[in-house]
Structure formats: C-alpha cells, structure tokens
Amino acid sequence: MDLSVVLPVYNEKESIRELASGIENVCSRENLDFEVIFVDDGSSDGSWNTITGLSENKKFIKGVRFRKNYGKAAALHTGFSEAKGDVIVTMDSDLQDSPDEIPELVKMIRNEGYDLVSGWKKKRYDPFVKRFTSRIYNGTARLFSGIKLHDFNCGLKAYRSEVAKNIEVYGEMHRYIPMLAKKAGFRRIGEKIVMHSPRKYGVSKYGLDRFMKGYLDLLTIGFITRFGKSPMHLFGALGTLMFLIGFIIAGYLGGRKLIFVHNHMRAPLVTDSPYFYIALTVMIIGSFLFLTGFLGELINRSSPERNNYLIRERLNLD
C-alpha cells in the first residue's frame, strides 16, 4: 500500500465527512493506493457514528475507538501501529490542514529520501498569544535538539513507515516527534511550508496550559535523549562534583582549625562557621544524586529494552 493517513479525532463530527472526501479526491487523482485511519480519542459528540457511517460505503475508511480520552500522542501511536502504507501522513481533523499538501509530502519521502517531513504553517490564523508562545517554544526546541524546524508541533507530517513503526509516542511527546526520530537514528528530517486554514467548526482543544506542558516535555525528551541509557553520566557527575565542593569547603575549615591549634592560638569552633553547614548540605545532596544515578543504572539494567537497537541493513545474514 502506498499511503496511510492517520487522523486523531476528538469531537470533530462536523469536519470528518469533508476531510475524508478531500483526502479521497486528492489520493484518487494521484493514483495512490491509500487508507484513512480515524482514531477516535474518546469523542462524546457522535464522531464515531460519523466514521462508522462513512466506512460502510468507503472501504478505505478504517477506525479505532478509545474508551476514553487519552490524548493525541496515544492516538498517533495507535494509528502508527495499525497503518500499512509505505508512507504515513498525519493530519489534524479540524480542517486546518489541507489534503492538497499530501502529494508533495509523499514525494519528499519517496523521491527525496527524507525519513520525516514536518509541515511549517508560516502564515497562521491563530490568536496572537498562541503564535507568540509557539515561537518561544519552537526556538527553544531548535536550540535543544539541533533540528532546524520552524514548527515542531505541526500536525501535518509525513513519515517513512520504518520511522513511525520504530518510535514510541507517549504522554504529550507528539510535540517532539522529530526529536524522537532523531534519537532513533532517523536524521533525514525535512520541512515543507503548508497552508493553514482558519478553524471552520468547533473550538480549539488546546489552552495555555500546553505551553507549560510543552516545556516540561522538552526537558523530559532532552534528558531521555542524552541520558536515557546512562543516567549515572548525569547524576553521578553532578553528585561527585557537589560532594567534592562540599569536601573541599570542609577540608578548608578543618585545615584552618589545625593551623590555629598548631600555633597555640584559640581556634574558633568549626560549627560556628556557616560554611560548615553549607559544606554538609552540599555533600549530602551530592551523595543523594550519586545514589540516584546508581539506582537509575540498576533500573536500566533490568529494562527489557536495554539492548534494543534499530538495524538499518543486514548483509549475508539469514
């Protein structure tokens, strides 16, 4: 199969028929063998009934329905696992992403060798606050990841099937799929300017709370990318450094005490100095950080995925 289009749905009943029709027209025009997979993320507005009605007459319409709302990442992960196409395209179901972008995205994956192509809504029809916070968050993501994308969170993306099948999207990590792909070794990541249409039906499902969630997720994915397999490299190094700083301060206080005693001078009590308590606190924190790294290594050693490696090619092997 040429193409799978994965569509997370949450209370988008009014948009589904129009979106499915647009995708069908574009893919038929391009002679693509395709499927459309709707993942109903616990909708309560009758979206599933609309999907079911469409599937009765159009066999390319497929669907998965969650029992409750799990979030976009869960919907994408499930859609990826069900997709059978060589190229997988994801879109939002609110008609703000245009199906007319699909052929060019597929071409960039097939003919230009990209592993992943992310859309860039250069001209956006969003409120100022949303656009402003998005610029801050995308700039920080570029700085952290080294991936030169303008819009990490754009729902319109295309993937080589191998990419989608080998990355795990969980929690709120759908915002950082390019970073997950890079971590997995898929480094051919491109970008395409795409159209952004004003919302036609319903209301946005995202509030300002996603700004904070986005930054917390960025810290999480940054940590996992660099230290997921070796937590001791971070916690052990920080713990050792803090312990040494505390030990040096304590050594200085002890040495000063000995000099006073050696010279038969009245020596101040070590515990009278505030630096003693600073040294003690820093050494305790350093010890805890080191133990955290040690426990992280023990947990990592027990992980069933500790030796999971993505193999690109095999030569002369059965």
pLDDT tens by residue, 5-62:
999 999 999 999 999 999 999 999 999 999 999 999 999 988 999 999 999 989 999 9
Which 3 state secondary structure label does DSSP give 116? strand
Phi, psi of 48 (to 5 degrees): -65, -40
Q: Which of 24-33, 186-195, 256-265, 306-315 has the lowest mean pLDDT?
A: 306-315
CB 210 within 8 A of CB 137: no
- Band (175; pLDDT cuts 50, 70, 90): confident
pLDDT above 70 for 220: yes
Residue 179 identity: M
CB 115 within 8 A of CB 181: yes
- What predicted TM-score, i.e. pTM, was given to this entire model? 0.75
pLDDT above 80 for 188: yes
Contacts with 218 (C-beta within 8 Å, 6 or more apart), sequence order: 137, 140, 141, 144, 176
Owner of token pair 């507005």 = 45
